[in-house]
Amino acid sequence: MATSGNPQPDSLWLRPQHPRRLPQVALSREEIARAALALADAEGTDAVTMRRIAKELGCGTMSLYRHVRTKDEVFDLMVDTAIAREERPEAPSGDWRADLRQLAVAKRAVLLRHPWLARLIAGRPVLGPGVLASTEFSLSVVAGLGLPMDEMVRIINTLNAFVNGFVQTEVEESAWRRPPAGRIPDPDPAHWHARVLPYLRHVMDSGEYPHFTRMVNEAESYPDRDADFAWQLARVLDGLSAVDPHRP
């Protein structure tokens, strides 16, 4: 049976916005994303539901479906909105290492601001304007090296994989050591240390693991994560320098 009009685009980013009619407060994708981000930051992504978002915005749940069709589209909005807040320069400086270093620091800052983001990004290819702007800037930084596009993509993917992996570990360790108020971790860090100490002493006294024993005795128990990030990022950039045809 024939239908009149054009079919609605499947892509969230191609569909037009549908602002709520006055005199009600304007409802937009930006408002939905802002409410969803606040929920996720406060309670985690499990708290992000259409019902909770509608409650935060003071509207009916069905009103949201004029803007987003599924919870996955809400997640896409959240990711894109968060990435759009990266503090990037307007244009590359010409020093690709310095620009990638600055970009990595900016990405880490955003991921730490939203502790759920690194995990969500890992499994979601998002093509919203915020992500596209970040990708475009990243590629423009290495465009002057004269490399094939596949190698340019590998450089950016290597940087992103390092930042995302570092922050995921950082976030999980922080949550384990210092859980949110009212939540006791499983296992509790203090109890875990008390339980593991006799075994740790047994391992060290055995003499079978001299390097591990030295690590326990000499390594910093609470290392400076900023310093660790800077050191590891420098090593990543050192490795990527191998593809620079202009290096001395």
In a domain, 235, yes or no: no
Establish if 96 belongs to a structural domain: yes
List Cβ neighbours of 16 (8 Å cut-off, separation of 6 or more): none
Residues 82 and 165 in one domain: yes
* Rounded-to-integer distance, Cα 141 and Cα 94, Å: 7
Same domain flag for 172 and 203: no
Number of domains in the chain: 3
Does the pLDDT at position 7 exceed 50? no
Do 96 and 123 reside in the same domain of the chain? yes
The whole domain housing 102 covers 71-182
Which pLDDT tens digit goes with each residue over 33-78? 999 999 999 999 999 999 999 999 999 999 898 899 999 999 999 9
Please check whether residues 152 and 222 belong to one and the same domain: no
Burial, 166: exposed, middle or buried (Cβ in 10 Å; 0-12, 13-18, 19+)? buried
What is the C-alpha to C-alpha distance for residues 193 and 177, in angstroms, rounded to an integer? 11
Rounded Cα distance, 9 and 96, in Å: 38
User: Does residue 115 lie within any of the structural domains?
Assistant: yes
SS3 15: coil
Q: What is the mean pLDDT of residues 145-172?
A: 94
Euclidean distance between CA atoms 136 and 200, whole angstroms? 49
Position 89 in a domain: yes
Determine, yes or no, domain membership for 144.
yes
Q: What is the pTM of this model?
A: 0.82
Q: What is the pLDDT of residue 1?
A: 44
Percent helix, percent strand, percent coil in the chain, to nearest 5: 65, 0, 35
Q: What angle do CA 234, 240, 245 make, to 5 degrees?
A: 130
Residues 176 and 191 in one domain: no
User: Helices 71-83 and 96-113, interaxial angle, to 10°?
Assistant: 130
Give the tokens for residue 38.
Answer: 């606040």
Confidence of residue 182 (pLDDT cuts 50, 70, 90): low
- CATH number, residue 155: 1.10.357.10
Same domain (yes/no): 58, 111: no
Q: Are residues 80 and 46 in the same domain?
A: no
Is 207 inside a domain boundary?
yes
Residue 38 shares a structural domain with residue 64: yes
Tell me whether residue 168 is in a domain: yes
Among 35, 69, 103, give the residue marking a domain's end: 69
Residue 80's pLDDT band (cuts 50, 70, 90): very high
Q: Give the pLDDT confidence of 203-227 residue by residue, as tens digits.
A: 889 999 999 889 988 888 778 899 9
Structure tokens at 131: 């992500």
Same domain, 104 and 115: yes
Residue 170 lies in a domain: yes
| Whether residue 63 sits in one domain with residue 114 | no
